[in-house]
Every structure is written in C-alpha cells, then in structure tokens.
C-alpha cells in the first residue's frame, strides 16, 4: 500500500510539473509572437522643392536602410504651387520649401505647427549658359547680349523671385524683361539651357552641379537677393505623425546633412 501511494504521488507531481511548463509556454507565446510581428507598412507623401530631388533621393535610400517599413513618395515642384496644393487640402505629410514665405504661409494658416518646422539648408543662385556658348555671357551684366533668358515664374518659383531681385538690384531688369522665358520650376530652366532653347538661365547652384551640359558663368552676390533658405515641417493633418516626425528628425542628422552638402547645399 505504501509503495502504491508513493507511486501515485510521484505520477501526480510529474503531471503537475508538465502542466505548469505547458502553461508557461502558452503564456509566453503571445509576447513572443507580438515581438516578432513585422512593423506596419506606412506611406508618407512629401511635397518638396524641385531643387531638392537628387539630395532627397539619396537621403531617403539611406533612411530606408533603417526604416524599411516607411515608404516615402515625393511630389516635386515649385514651392508656391506646392504650398497652394497643401492650403487647398492636398494630403501631404511634410513640406520642404525653397522659400520661407511659402512655408510661413502654411504656418499662418495653422497647417504647420511652428515647433515642428526648421530652417534646414541654404543655397546659392547662379547664372548658367550652355557648354561652349559663343555668346560671351560671363556675368549678369552681360545678359543684354542674350536673345532669350530663362527664370522660374517669380510668383510661384522662389528661384525666379530671387532672379528677378538680382536683375532689379543690378539695374538690368528693364533691359532684359522682354527676353525672359518663364519656367514652372528650376529644373525646367535648366532643361531650357541644356537644350539651347535659351542663351542663359538662373538656377540654384545645386541644380547647375547636376548637369554636364551647362557651365556656371557667375554666382549672384548675397547682397542682391533675399537669403535663400529651405525650411521643412510636418503638416498638422498628417495621418502618420509618428513616421513623419521620424523622417523630419532624420533630415537633421549629420548623415543627412553630409548628403545635402555633397549636393551643394549649405548647412544653416
């Protein structure tokens, strides 16, 4: 009887141990499964000035090495046109402008919280001419020699506004105004010069450096135009605030700033 009782007791203890281990394994499973679950895929839309395209392509590629779940779609164009789209309700997560006034317009409309915006980089305005041009245009003062000159539409393209300021301050706007060919953004100005459709154009230094078909004839003095500053900020109505802030913060890292400087932008 005693042996039978001890055998029964041993079996019961063994079963209790097995049951306890099984229970513990089951309780761990949800946590383990939750930890292993892939991050939710998120898509961000960023409206950015056309002149930022090359730098942002590389920066985004680097960002995705760390955050593969965040897909970033860019809407490039003239800052003024992009600002108007956002003002009219376009679904955008971040705005990266080439002009402070376009950015501040959205701040004043309460579409961007000022604390989630920053003046990030700067640029220079340059005069470009086609490679091997025979026009003899070496300075801004030489522009009267040209038949056609391209700048961005000043009302919507910041580079065009800066260009008009330069020509006005150099007292040659009235002389060349009739020769101006307006473009929708700086990339279109660059294309006009590359193809020889115009004799000269005014673009950002960063755009000029991307082309082997043009050469920089002159750089505008900072005294002749409004400071060229690129602010970036998160749109309040973004449905992915966490991911938008993640990319916004990444743009301010040394790794991102090194890329901006590689493409000719200046850190502020």
47 and 115 housed in the same domain? yes
Q: How large is the average pLDDT for residues 31-42?
A: 62
pTM given for the model: 0.78
- According to the annotation, is 47 in a ligand binding site? no
221 labeled binding residue: no
- Grade residue 84 by pLDDT with cuts at 50, 70 and 90: very high
Quick one: 118 and 240 in the same domain? Answer: yes
> Could you give the C-alpha distances from 188 to 84, 106, 193, 199, in angstroms and in order?
20, 25, 9, 14
Which among 152, 225, 230, 143 is positioned nearest to 187, based on CA atoms?
Answer: 152
pLDDT at 57: 97
Asked whether residue 202 falls in the same domain as residue 253, the answer is no
Considering the chain, what is the average pLDDT of its residues?
90
> Annotation-wise, does 37 bind a ligand?
no
Per residue in 92-118, pLDDT (tens digit) is 999 999 999 999 999 999 999 999 999
Is 179 found in the same domain as 131? yes
Same-domain pairing of 150 and 167: yes
Question: Does 180 share its domain with 104?
Answer: no
pLDDT digits (tens, 9 = 90+) for 121-166: 999 999 999 998 999 999 999 999 999 999 999 999 999 999 999 9
| Residue 22 falls inside a structural domain | no
CB 53 within 8 A of CB 207: no
Residues 57 and 131 grouped into a single domain: no
Q: Nearest-CA neighbor of 154 among 217, 232, 99, 210?
A: 99
193-243 tens-digit pLDDT: 999 999 999 999 999 999 999 999 999 999 999 999 999 999 999 999 999
| 51 labeled binding residue | yes
65 with 112, same domain: the answer is yes
In a domain, 15, yes or no: no
Would you call 254 helix, strand, or coil by DSSP? helix
Give 26's contacts (C-beta < 8 A, 6+ positions apart). Answer: none
Instruction: Return the SS3 of 46.
Output: strand
138 and 68 belong to one structural domain? no
Tell me: do 104 and 135 sit in the same domain: no
Counting the structural domains of the chain, the total is 2
pLDDT at residue 242, as a whole number: 96
With a CB cutoff of 8 Å and minimum separation 6, the contacts of 90 are: 47
198: in domain: yes
Q: Is the pLDDT of residue 13 over 80?
A: no
Range of the domain at 97: 42-122+229-267
Confidence at 268, pLDDT banded by 50, 70, 90? confident
Task: Please give the helix or strand (H or E) that residue 28 lies within, else none.
Answer: helix 2-36
For position 168, which CATH number holds? 3.40.190.10
The per-residue pLDDT for range 236-262, each reduced to its tens digit, is: 999 999 999 999 999 999 999 999 999
**Together in a domain, 157 and 107:** no
Eight-state DSSP code of residue 40 = P
pLDDT tens digit sequence for 39-77: 789 999 999 999 999 999 999 999 999 999 999 999 999
State yes or no: 204 annotated in a binding site.
Answer: yes
Kind and range of the H or E run holding 128: strand 125-130
Q: How far is the C-alpha of 56 from the C-alpha of 259, rounded, in Å?
A: 8
Domain assignment of residue 151, yes or no: yes
């Amino acid at each position: 009887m005693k042996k039978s009782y001890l055998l029964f007791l041993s079996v019961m203890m063994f079963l209790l141990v097995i049951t306890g281990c099984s229970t513990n394994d089951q309780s761990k499973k949800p946590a383990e499964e939750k930890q292993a679950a892939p991050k939710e895929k998120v898509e961000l839309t960023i409206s950015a000035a056309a002149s930022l395209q090359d730098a942002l392509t590389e920066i985004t590629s680097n960002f995705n090495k760390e955050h593969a779940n965040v897909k970033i779609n860019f809407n490039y164009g003239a800052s003024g046109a992009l600002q108007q789209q956002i003002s009219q309700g376009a679904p955008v997560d971040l705005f990266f402008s080439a002009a402070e006034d376009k950015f501040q317009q959205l701040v004043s409309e309460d579409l961007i919280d000022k604390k989630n915006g920053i003046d990030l980089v700067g640029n220079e305005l340059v005069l470009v001419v086609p490679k091997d041009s025979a026009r003899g245009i070496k300075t801004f003062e030489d522009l009267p020699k040209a038949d056609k000159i391209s700048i961005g539409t000043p009302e919507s393209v910041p580079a065009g506004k800066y260009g008009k300021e330069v020509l006005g301050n150099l007292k040659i706007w009235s002389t060349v105004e009739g020769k101006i060919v307006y473009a929708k953004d700086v990339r279109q100005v660059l294309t006009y010069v590359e193809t020889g459709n115009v004799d000269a154009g005014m673009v950002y230094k960063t755009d000029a450096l991307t082309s082997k078909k043009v050469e920089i004839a002159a750089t505008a003095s900072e005294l002749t135009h409004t400071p060229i500053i690129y602010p970036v900020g998160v749109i309040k109505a973004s449905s992915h605030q966490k991911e938008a802030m993640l990319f916004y913060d990444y743009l301010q890292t040394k790794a991102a700033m090194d890329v901006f400087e590689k493409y000719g932008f200046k850190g502020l």
